[in-house]
Amino acid sequence: GQQVMQIPQYQHVQEGEDFTTYCNSSTTLSNIQWYKQRPGGHPVFLIQLVKSGEVKKQKRLTFQFGEAKKNSSLHITATQTTDVGTYFCAGPLYNFNKFYFGSGTKLNVKP
Amino acid sequence: EAQVTQNPRYLITVTGKKLTVTCSQNMNHEYMSWYRQDPGLGLRQIYYSMNVEVTDKGDVPEGYKVSRKEKRNFPLILESPSPNQTSLYFCASSFVPSGSSYEQYFGPGTRLTVT
């Protein structure tokens, strides 16, 4: 069954509002990656977090990896229409080979 | 240009007719993988390969086969497609450094419909 869950499934925001998606794994992840998929496109790598409690920032995007390495979040400050897409978390569970993706959060930004 | 290519991009076929979706990467990546994407389920890994002649099952391998005879190519084979294999398929590749994982580069996707 699904090992990595993501919430919410959908999020509609007004441009300028903040957005957060949460990722939870039933078991410890060795690391976690985040990807963005634009409508009609393919997933594109955003970032990888490795250490427990790690926080990384990319401009308006903030990524966190939980202390227990079982959860993660992506926060976007002051969304823009260019942020539209589906955001996925992904991680290898027991080794570095077999990957599990979250179900994704589809973000829609109204101008 | 560094890229992962897939062919065909779109395919409509009938139940039971064997098909192959090709995947090729020009980045000398050791790791290659196939995923299927279905609404509400995210991406699910079908098969992956750590290097030439080394393949292993992902989360949903039933009904699929793969081969890795060359480092750059990783074809996905559906010996007898069924309607429940209608999906969007992505091939991906990455380096495999020791003790970690690396970002995956995805191909453009193949939309398969089995009637």
Task: In whole angstroms, give the CA distance from residue B5 to residue A30.
Answer: 29
- Res B53: pLDDT: 92
The tokens for B93 are 């590749």
A9 CB near a chain B CB, below 8 Å? yes
* DSSP 8-state class, residue B104: P
Percent of chain B residues topping a pLDDT of 70: 96
Q: Which of B43, B50, B103 sits opposite A97 (nearest CB)?
A: B50
pLDDT at A33: 94
Q: How confident is the model at residue B98 (pLDDT cuts 50, 70, 90)?
A: low
The answer to whether the CB atoms of A31 and B90 lie below 8 A apart is no
Distance CA A41, CA B106 (A): 10
Q: Which residues of B touch A31 (CB under 8 A)?
A: 100-101
**Residue A99's pLDDT is what?**
86
Give yes or no for a contact between B41 and B51, defined as CB atoms under 8 angstroms apart. no
Beta bridge partners of B20: B77
The confidence score (pLDDT) of residue A2 equals 53
Please give, rounded to a whole number of angstroms, the shortest distance from the CA of B99 to a CA of chain A.
7
Which H or E element spans position A47? strand A44-49
CA distances from residue B69 to A36, A69, B47, B109 in whole angstroms, order as listed: 31, 36, 15, 22
* Span B35-89, pLDDT tens digits: 999 988 889 999 999 999 999 999 999 999 999 999 999 999 999 999 999 999 9
Q: Please report residues of A whose CB lies closer than 8 A to that of B96.
A: 96
- The reported pLDDT for the residue numbered A27 is 86
The confidence band for A30, taking pLDDT boundaries of 50, 70 and 90, is confident
Q: What pLDDT score does A29 carry? A: 86
Give ∠ CA B31-B76-A86 in degrees, rounded to 5. 70
Q: Which residue type occupies B15?
A: T
CB B24 within 8 A of CB B41: no
Is A73 an interface residue toward B (CB < 8 Å)? no
- Chain B residues lying within 8 Å of A6, measured CB to CB: 42
A95 pLDDT higher than 80 = no
On the CB side of A84, how many CA atoms lie within 13 Å of its CA?
A: 12
The residue with tokens 């823009």 is A80
Cβ distance B101 to A30 less than 8 Å, yes or no, reads: yes
Q: A24 in contact with B at a CB cutoff of 8 Å?
A: no
Digit-coded pLDDT (tens) for A53-81: 999 999 999 999 999 999 999 999 999 99
| Res. A94 pLDDT band, cuts 50 70 90 | low
Residue B79 in 3-state DSSP?
A: coil
* Chain B touched by A96 (CB under 8 Å): yes
Contact predicate A13/A19, CB 8 Å: yes
What is the average pLDDT across A10-19? 97
By the CB < 8 Å criterion, does A87 face chain B? no
